[in-house]
Amino acid sequence: MPNSYPDQSVAVLFSGGDSPGMNAFLRAIVRLGLNREKIVVLGIRDGYRGLVRTARAVNGDAEALVRLKSTIASHPGRAGLINEQLDIIRMDHASVSGIMGKGGTILGSARCLEFHTPEVREKVIRLLKNLNVRALIVVGGDGSLTGAKLLAEESDLQIIGVPATIDNDLQFTDMALGVDTAVKTLVWAVDHFIDTARSHRRVMVLETMGRESGDLARMAGLASGAEMIITPEGGPITDEAMKGLAAKIEGAMTRGRGHAIVLVAEGVQFDPPQKRNRAYVLMDAFQEYFQRSGAPFPDLEVRPSVLGHLQRGGHTTPQDCILAARFADRAWTTILTEKSKNGITALRKNVIEIVPYGAPDMPERAAFSKEMEKLHEELSSW
Ligand code: F6P
């Protein structure tokens, strides 16, 4: 009965910064639900914010709840997606058609500060129960999964997390959804900047995202052949350290190198602290060093770029689409066979596991970061 309200369902929401692979995950979770498990998926608009809005609108009123269920039932799929007043959509086959490789998320994503309040979460839990939701899947990064952990602790709903963030800063999984695509985009960007760097014999300083983690910059550096990668894990960078980096570039120029691409992760801090973007701070420091009296390359120019949200968009890579399907598959298996199990899907040694919320960092992740740094250094020609 497509137009009746489902007796049971699984809800899915996307939270925090959007990440490539979110749409591929939505498609997989909806299609596996309908084709294999015969269970309806309710898509939540704008992450936790959509749930909070709806909980507030219903506000424990039985009649409002009946009206909401009727609106959800009468606006399945695309009809629900285009109805901006509706935050809970009964997904169908057609609503996820053609979205697999599209960046962003058709359901929308948001950061929701209100969700930090226990009373707000309590209202949301009540709403989900009243809507016959048996499990909620939360797709997002660190903050979003912390919200999922709280819901799991405070309710008897099954809460499954799915790691999706271009930052790759979640240390319990080898890879989060979206990282592969973001690295591909960064490699593409570096390729473009190299053209100008070579033509003008310049140093290009490109700032990547990644929050406090340098892994995105490391992966992009290794994959693109960027000459230098500056990451936050080593602590704040002093003026002396910046001179050292500039000296390294100058040394390479002395040996005949014509240009350099420097990747700096946004998590990098300076000592003394700086307010400006890292790429600009480094540009000034490098430029000052190159122009010091008696320097060999006073005309060597430095140009900064903050790559920003370019890194989050674009066509999702096959690798991310595959990971999305595998995460969705594991989420369904857990929901159906381990009903009381809460946890997060994680990729570990090419197996998708469910790990508990708050799982310790995998030592392999730190080893991976070190391995990338070492390889980058060893592959360098300067
Ligand atoms: O967590 C993903 C991320 O893109 C970070 O790399 C970045 O620091 C942040 O989100 C940017 O957030 P916003 O889109 O809110 O500016």
* pLDDT tens digits, 11-36: 999 999 999 999 999 999 999 999 99
Write the single-letter amino acid at 334: T
- Note whether residue 20 is domain-resident: yes
pLDDT, average across residues 26-53? 97
Is pLDDT of 369 > 90?
yes
CA of 285 to the centre of ligand 1 (A): 26
For a pocket test of ligand 1, which of 139, 186, 312 has the largest count of ligand atoms closer than 8 A to its C-beta? 312
Write the single-letter amino acid at 347: L
Task: Convert 275-294 to b/e letters by CB count within 10 Å (16 or more is b).
Answer: eebbbbbbbebbbebbeeee
Q: Are residues 166 and 296 in the same domain?
A: no
Q: Are residues 223 and 275 in the same domain?
A: yes
> Using 50, 70 and 90 to split pLDDT, how confident is the model at 1?
low
Do 159 and 135 meet the contact criterion of CB atoms below 8 Å apart?
yes
Alpha helices in the chain (DSSP H): 22-31, 48-58, 62-74, 78-82, 118-130, 142-154, 179-200, 215-224, 239-254, 278-290, 318-337, 363-379
Q: Does the C-beta of 103 come closer than 6 Å to ligand 1?
A: no
pLDDT, average across residues 252-256? 95
CA distances from 68 to 108, 122, 263, 306 (A): 20, 19, 49, 44
Mean pLDDT estimate for the chain: 97
Q: Are residues 13 and 154 in the same domain?
A: yes
For a pocket test of ligand 1, which of 15, 46, 142, 167 has the largest count of ligand atoms closer than 8 A to its C-beta? 167
Structural domain total, the chain? 2
Q: Are residues 157 and 135 in the same domain?
A: yes
pLDDT, average across residues 271-299? 97
> Please, which residues have CB within 8 angstroms of residue 127's CB and are 6 or more apart in sequence?
51, 54, 55, 58
Q: Are residues 249 and 356 in the same domain?
A: no
Q: Which domain holds residue 188?
A: 180-312
CATH code: domain of residue 99? 3.40.50.450
- Note whether residue 268 is domain-resident: yes
The rounded radius of gyration (Å) of the Cα atoms in the chain is 24
Is pLDDT of 46 > 70?
yes
- Note whether residue 298 is domain-resident: yes
* pLDDT tens digits, 176-221: 999 999 999 999 999 999 999 999 999 999 999 999 999 999 999 9
- Note whether residue 149 is domain-resident: yes
